[in-house]
Amino acid sequence: MNTKNFINYHVLISHSPSCINRDDMNMQKTAVFGGMKRVRISSQSLKRAMRKSGYYSDKLGTPSVRTRDLGKLKAWCAALLKERFDPDLIGLALEWMSGKEGISEGIEGDAVAPWSVEEVAYFCQLIQDGKKADFDPKKLEKQIEKDARPFRESMGKAIDIALSGRMATSGLMTNLPIDGALAVAHSITTHAVEPQDVDWFTAVDDLTQDAGEMGAGHLNTQEFSSGVFYRYASLNLKQLQVNLGLLETMESNETTASRQRALEIAKHVFHMLATVVPTAKRQPFAADNPADFAIISFADMPLSLANAFEEPVSRSSNGGYLQPSINAISVYWKTITDFHNLRENAAVAAAWPFKCPAGLKALKSLAALESWIENDGKEKA
């Protein structure tokens, strides 16, 4: 079994003109790196797009719901669990979990938090089974302190919580903190993008235009640009197994089955990193661009390759930033792993021709990379 605990994901995506992520002023999000302005897609935006994607629901099940409105949360859980538990029992479970009494419309928690319907169901079942023994929150708290693994197992269907983590400041959830297994960086362009373009647009009022007027019922501007984006994320495989209740602690030894489950999820994480695009301004721009290049490594430590672009990539002689970006990240991977004497088990797939450095295993497609991840860094025979 592979002993390397981290999977590092490095993805290059060239987005056509678009405004994928905006700030409160309706301006594109940016960041300064290497002294130059880059267009940015926030990690929050990307993680939410992944969690809300059809691929997530199809492959990983029902995602958590994130809210601070406990009254609406109770109604949501009651609708999904109506065949199993009555609303009063669900309300009691949420009171114990959140530390808030009398949950009804308008009652809020301390902060927006992720909730798993199966976790709520687990607490409902505990309360229902424990009534004869006068089960109470204090007993549950001691039970969690003694052995939290069964409670993490109940959350196992909410993969996004196991990946991103969770904290709480009241109720039984304070005894079940989840350290995120997946770290996702803000995506930035590999090159400088300045100045950005501005679209001056109108919404034409057809009936006004038919009456002989100009017909512009709305005028506005929208900032947009294009660029090659570097997406980086790192997955702690053992932390994921602990969060799913497959291992008791980080000191526990992996089993073949527990690691395989983590690798299956890791494969799906990569697919989403390579294909999912936040939907902001999708209708007017349709920047539905999947990845053109990816390096995946099994490693002993997280390792970002962002410094491959600390000096902004210059466009090629024929125009375009994608090919120079592919060349830059390939060279930097070799440089930094040699410099630190890292022994990564790494593979690469590219839609464009490039010089593959020694130490990188070249695969023919992103699907082949997915299979390589699931097979623990080996090609299937």
For residue 304, the model assigns a pLDDT of 98
Answer yes or no: do 163 and 245 share one domain.
Answer: no
Query: Tokens for 131?
Result: 């009534």
Distance of alpha carbon 168 from alpha carbon 110, whole angstroms: 8
The answer to the question of residue 278 being in a domain is yes
For residue 376, give every residue at least 6 positions away whose Cβ sits within 8 Å of its Cβ, in sequence order, or none.
1, 2, 259, 260, 263, 298
The answer to the question of residue 47 being in a domain is no
Answer yes or no: do 76 and 145 share one domain.
Answer: yes
Answer yes or no: do 312 and 237 share one domain.
Answer: yes
Distance of alpha carbon 200 from alpha carbon 218, whole angstroms: 11
Answer yes or no: do 364 and 238 share one domain.
Answer: yes
Look at residue 57 and give its three-state secondary structure.
helix
Answer yes or no: do 13 and 135 share one domain.
Answer: no
Q: Which residues of the chain have pLDDT under 50?
A: 132
State how many domains the chain has: 2
For residue 13, give every residue at least 6 positions away whose Cβ sits within 8 Å of its Cβ, in sequence order, or none.
187, 228, 229, 231, 274, 277, 289, 290, 291, 292
Task: Give me the phi and psi of 286, to 5 degrees please.
Answer: 50, 50
Answer yes or no: do 176 and 257 share one domain.
Answer: no
C-alpha distances in Å from residue 167, one per residue of 161, 179, 183: 10, 8, 16
Residue 201 forms beta bridges with which residues? Answer: 220
| Model confidence pLDDT, tens digit, residues 43-79 | 999 999 999 999 999 999 989 999 999 999 999 999 9
The answer to the question of residue 55 being in a domain is no
The answer to the question of residue 59 being in a domain is no
Query: Which residue among 148, 182, 216 closes a domain?
Result: 182
Answer yes or no: do 127 and 160 share one domain.
Answer: yes
> With 0-12 CB in 10 A as exposed, 13-18 as middle and 19+ as buried, what is 25?
exposed
* Helix boundaries (H) for the chain: 43-51, 54-60, 70-80, 87-98, 117-130, 137-146, 149-154, 159-164, 206-210, 237-243, 256-275, 282-285, 322-339, 366-374
Answer yes or no: do 367 and 230 share one domain.
Answer: yes
Answer yes or no: do 268 and 314 share one domain.
Answer: yes
> With 0-12 CB in 10 A as exposed, 13-18 as middle and 19+ as buried, what is 146?
exposed
For residue 156, the model assigns a pLDDT of 67
Answer yes or no: do 238 and 284 share one domain.
Answer: yes
| Model confidence pLDDT, tens digit, residues 281-315 | 888 888 999 999 999 999 999 999 999 999 999 99
Domain span including residue 267? 6-42+226-374
For residue 209, the model assigns a pLDDT of 61
Query: Which residue among 182, 198, 215 closes a domain?
Result: 182
111-129 in b/e burial notation, b at 16+ Cβ within 10 A? eebbbbbbbbbbbbebbbe
Query: Which residue among 182, 215, 244 closes a domain?
Result: 182
The answer to the question of residue 215 being in a domain is no
The answer to the question of residue 297 being in a domain is yes
Answer yes or no: do 231 and 348 share one domain.
Answer: yes
The answer to the question of residue 91 being in a domain is yes
The answer to the question of residue 99 being in a domain is yes
Answer yes or no: do 241 and 348 share one domain.
Answer: yes
